[in-house]
Structure 1
Amino acid sequence: MTLEDAIKLAVLALAKTMEEPSPENIEVAVITVEEKKFKKISKEKVAKCLEEALKEAEEEEVAEKEEDYTELDSNY
């Protein structure tokens, strides 16, 4: 898992607990092994990660539903 993937996962987890997720309501910071410094992620990057994470989650949901319908069709 890349740092970018980890940020998206964290943002998605937070977004799922919020009524109206937005970059203004989410703060993300990272500490890398290489730099060993606390680094706050910009609101722009949080917004991009939130948008991508929500889109990916929606696509996964659609794929799962299609798979469920395909399974139901094959049972009849």
Structure 2
Amino acid sequence: EEPLQRPKKELAATKKDRVNHCLTICENIVAQSLRNSPEFQKLLGIAMELFLLCSEDSESDVRMVADECLNKVIK
């Protein structure tokens, strides 16, 4: 008898997860305490890359949040 195989858990983040990740990263990247960090430039680059990637997402809600985050970080 073959053991029952459980379906693998989906590794892709859900729409809600992607929106929450963008918002969390945005909130932290604009925090004054992070701006004083020696790692800030590197983290800013990673955050911008993520927002640009999410701005091409198939879900319009994710694209909208990514766009808002880009605008907030740039200002």
- Answer yes or no: same fold by TM over 0.5: no
Task: Give TM-score scaled by structure 2 length.
Answer: 0.29
Query: Which one has the bigger strand percentage?
Result: 1
TM-score by length of 1: 0.29
